[in-house]
A and B are shown apart, each in its own frame.
Chain A
C-alpha cells in the first residue's frame, strides 16, 4: 500500500533556528497536508497544498508541493518554544479519499 517516508524522525535545535522537514512517497498524491500534534491533543492542520509546485505560507511556516507530486517539505523559520511537538505530513489521492499519514517528525527546542 501507499506509504509516506517522513524525515527526520526527530530534531533537537536551538531556539531561533530555522527548521526543515520533508516527506516522500512512492505514489502520487493530489493533495499534501501538514499537521502538528501536541501531547494529549488531536492533529491540527497547518497547511494544505493542492497543486504541484505550489508554495504556501502560514506565518513562519512555509510548505511546498513537489513538482513530481511525490514529495513535500515544511520549513519553520525562527523557531520558538511553542513550535515543540510532532509534525505529520499527509497525502490524499482524490477529492474525497482517505488521508495517508507519515510517521511524524518530533521537534524539540533548546531555549
Chain B
C-alpha cells in the first residue's frame, strides 16, 4: 500500500519562474494539505483541498494556488518565484470519517531551490 508520493523530489528554478508540484495521496484518503518547510523550521500550512475545492488557507499570497483532481491527487502551483520560496514542500493526506478528519500522513516532500 503506497503512502503519500510527491514529485519531483528536487527542483531548481530561477526567480520569476513558475513551478508545479504534484502529490498522490495515500490509498483511501480524500483530503490533501500542502505545507512549506523552511530550513530549520516546522512546516507551515499553505492550504487544504477536499472534494476538489480549497477548504482552508494559511497566510500565503495568491502566487500560491492549487488544484485537486477527481482521483484525489493534487498540484501546488507557485508563480513569480522569489528567493524566499526556497523550501521543502510537503504534501499530507488524510480521510474524513463520519465528519472527522483522521491524522495526516506526510510525503517526503519536494525540495525547491530558487537561484
Contact = CB atoms under 8 A, between A and B. Distances in A.
Contacts of A43: 43, 90, 106
A102 B109 CA distance: 18
Contacts of B45: 98-100
Contacts of B32: none
A90 B50 CA distance: 21
B96 A88 contact: no
Interface in A86-101: 88, 90, 95-101
Interface residues of B, number: 29
Interface string A28-39: 000001010000
Nearest to A33: B103
B104 to A, nearest CB: 7
Given A95-B101, A96-B96, A42 B42 contact: no
A44 interface: yes
Contacts of B41: 103-104
B108 A41 contact: yes
Interface stretch (B14-22, B54-62, B66-74, B77-85): B54-62
Interface of A: 1, 4, 6, 33, 35, 40-45, 48, 88, 90, 95-104
